[in-house]
Structure 1
Amino acid sequence: MGSVEVATGVHERIEHLLADIVARRTEFARAAKGGMIVPVGALFTLSSPSNTASSHVHVGVPKAQRRRVYDNLAYFAPVLAVAAANSPWAAGKDFGLSYRMAQPGCLGPLRDDPEYRFQDLIISKRLGTIELRIFDPIPEIFRLREILDAVTSIAAFTGTLSFNSNEYNKERESWTIQGITPWIRSRWEELQLLYPFPMDLLENPLSDRLRKAATASSILDAYREAERIWREGTDVAPEHRPYSRLRLVTGLAGYYAVRLPFMAYKGYKEWYGKT
């Protein structure tokens, strides 16, 4: 598995952001002809918490309000994360709601320092945004729209929620595997006061559909279903080609040669930048 990072521009309107996402998916689909695009948090045959992919949502907030909005977003983030889950298998076996979310690697339980990089939500040192890192990739545009609308409504809330990181970390041990727990359902009910987030998205995460496809047919068919969903709106049909070591080497070389300087700069800023 090789994750490809795609970043959108900065947007104030969700419809513009979604149009940007579809446009970039279209460009990527054309560039990736011959390969399979598998928009899941972790490949179903692996058990590797650091070899994952995700959807990160950045929220711009004035510095004076960042910690309050961070806590408010963290209060409801598990509800949205259940709806975003799509990584139900690991090491060729059914794992639960999301292997990637449950196994700390590039994310994990919240720490006292919100700027520490590898946790579910951070305050980005590089950008000064609140970054929700917990979501699995979200190929379904309708699902992504609801999650973004909810994030926007939570961020716009002017009150202060009684967030407790110890409670958050304890509960994440359950819902990352089970999905809808009594605690998640209670948080969802509270969320309705800020945004009418559909319970159907929690009851029917893409994780369940891909699990059924893998169980009833094969992991490859589950991947094909995820790719089919991701390609909706791009009008670019899949064009899979046999594996080629030459294309692998030249593709990696061409991809990283022009990006390594920025990747090094980005990594430095994310660890040592100032907010």
Structure 2
Amino acid sequence: MATFGIEEEVFIVEPTKPSVQSLYYIGKLVWKNPKKYLLHTDSNFARSKDILQGLMSGVEISTSPHSDSKSLMEDFSQRRQDLCKVSEGLIVALGHLFDYDAPTNTCALQFHVGDLDDFKTAYRNLAYFLPLLILLCANSPAAKSKRFGQSYRLLYSYAVGPLRQDWTYRFQDLIFAKRTKTIELRAFDPVWDLGRVKMLIEAIEAIVKLKSPLDSVTDYNNLRKTVCVEGYIKALDDRFNCLSQLCYIDKNCFTLTPADIIWDFYKRNGLENTYAALDYAYRHNADLSVVPVSRSKKNPVKIAAGIAGYFIPKLPYDIWKYLREH
């Protein structure tokens, strides 16, 4: 029986930029419940010249493996709420921050699929639908405060890229992960809307049940850039029609993306109000709305506690994981 898991990365901003104090928040999850969170949290940092815009990137929560979409969503929703309880900053589910231009400072929503009878067929079929599925959670519409399109992260992040002949190569949109022995879908941006995540999980669950391969990965690479910028195009119609025979999907969720919705909100309300709205929507599984901006303060003691009590103790495991994955 197939198993499914989720890794979600989000920014915690105070009030518009991530700080190293994020380590303290994610550390609190581990200190409260190490069995549940020691191996199911992580932290990321910008690299190279992107550090000049800010060192801290996103934090990560991940689920346990599950055999069906319902139990996976329950686990994922609970872990989101656990993160909300410990975070004093604004939780911003975006692939890339609006005012940054930093390809190494991005957040992703990743799915793992394991225990399959035929990994190769599942991989090809996921690749066939991936140009369409991207749009369910495409949510990095801007760089340098200017509209980019649907997903700046997917087109420019160092951690993803077009599909290659070697399906184990790490930095592409869809891989066979060496460490976990799972298919890992890396193409999605994090999104505040749990309804979209649920629709995506159910679509993935339906796709991996297909017995025959639909297409090669070449077509995905041809569509990838156009979809990242323009969104839904006519070339996706056949994929949508085929997927709609496998599971419930709402075409409006593909033609009107999270990137479209949040960019429109940003134009009307500005950066701080947008991040406050994203935080409220994430915490309450609600629509975007104007809410008071909560301003947390940086605390040197909390920063030191996060580094000494979370980042440093977890570093040996992170190094081991890195070596296994590359």
State which of 42, 51, 60 in structure 1 corresponds to 2:105: 51
Counterpart code for 1:186: D
Q: Percent identity?
A: 31
Distance 1:115 1:251 in 2: 33
1:145-171 residue CA offsets vs partner (Å, 9 max, x unmatched): 1110000000011121122x3322121
Q: Which region of structure 1 is more displaced relative to structure 2, 128-137 or 203-212?
A: 203-212
TM-fit CA distance, 1:251: 2.8
Q: Which region of structure 1 is more displaced relative to structure 2, 238-247 or 165-174?
A: 238-247
| Residues 73-84 of structure 1 mapped to structure 2, 5 A cutoff | 73-84=126-137
1:112 matched residue in structure 2:
165
Is 1:190 the equivalent of 2:242?
yes
TM-score by length of 2: 0.77
What secondary structure sits across from 1:37 in the alignment? Answer: strand
Q: Which region of structure 1 is more displaced relative to structure 2, 248-257 or 208-217?
A: 248-257
Distance 1:167 1:204 in 2: 23
Counterpart code for 1:264: I
Is 1:7 the equivalent of 2:59?
no
Is 1:161 the equivalent of 2:214?
yes
2:174 matched residue in structure 1:
121
State which of 40, 52, 56 in structure 1 corresponds to 2:94: 40
1:87 matched residue in structure 2:
140
1:196-253 residue CA offsets vs partner (Å, 9 max, x unmatched): 321011122211111011111212222222222211259xx99541334554344344
Q: Which region of structure 1 is more displaced relative to structure 2, 250-259 or 65-74?
A: 250-259
Determine if contact 2:111/2:186 at 8 Å carries over to the other structure.
yes
TM-fit CA distance, 1:89: 0.8
Determine if contact 1:213/1:219 at 8 Å carries over to the other structure.
no
Q: 1:87 to 1:262 in 2, by over 3 A?
A: same
1:131 matched residue in structure 2:
184
Distance 2:325 2:112 in 1: 14
Counterpart code for 1:94: R
Counterpart code for 1:213: F
Q: 1:252 to 1:92 in 2, by over 3 A?
A: farther
2:52 matched residue in structure 1:
none
**RMSD over aligned Cα atoms:** 2.0
More strand by share: 2
Q: 1:39 to 1:152 in 2, by over 3 A?
A: same
Distance 1:252 1:74 in 2: 39
Larger RCO, structures 1/2 (Cα 8 Å, 6+ apart) = 1
What secondary structure sits across from 1:258 in the alignment? Answer: helix
1:243-272 residue CA offsets vs partner (Å, 9 max, x unmatched): 34554344344331221121111111111x
What secondary structure sits across from 2:133 in the alignment? Answer: helix
Q: Which region of structure 1 is more displaced relative to structure 2, 97-106 or 171-180?
A: 97-106
1:268 matched residue in structure 2:
323
Counterpart code for 1:4: V
Determine if contact 1:22/1:233 at 8 Å carries over to the other structure.
no
Total equivalences in the alignment: 266
Q: 1:230 to 1:187 in 2, by over 3 A?
A: same
TM-score by length of 1: 0.90
Distance 1:102 1:59 in 2: 23
What secondary structure sits across from 2:180 in the alignment? Answer: coil
Distance 1:23 1:240 in 2: 25
Counterpart code for 1:110: L
Is 1:173 the equivalent of 2:228?
no
Counterpart code for 1:58: H
Determine if contact 1:175/1:184 at 8 Å carries over to the other structure.
no
Determine if contact 1:211/1:222 at 8 Å carries over to the other structure.
no
State which of 124, 142, 153 in structure 2 corresponds to 1:71: 124
TM-fit CA distance, 1:135: 0.5
State which of 245, 257, 260 in structure 2 corresponds to 1:205: 257
Distance 1:92 1:203 in 2: 23
- Unaligned ranges ≥5, structure 1: none
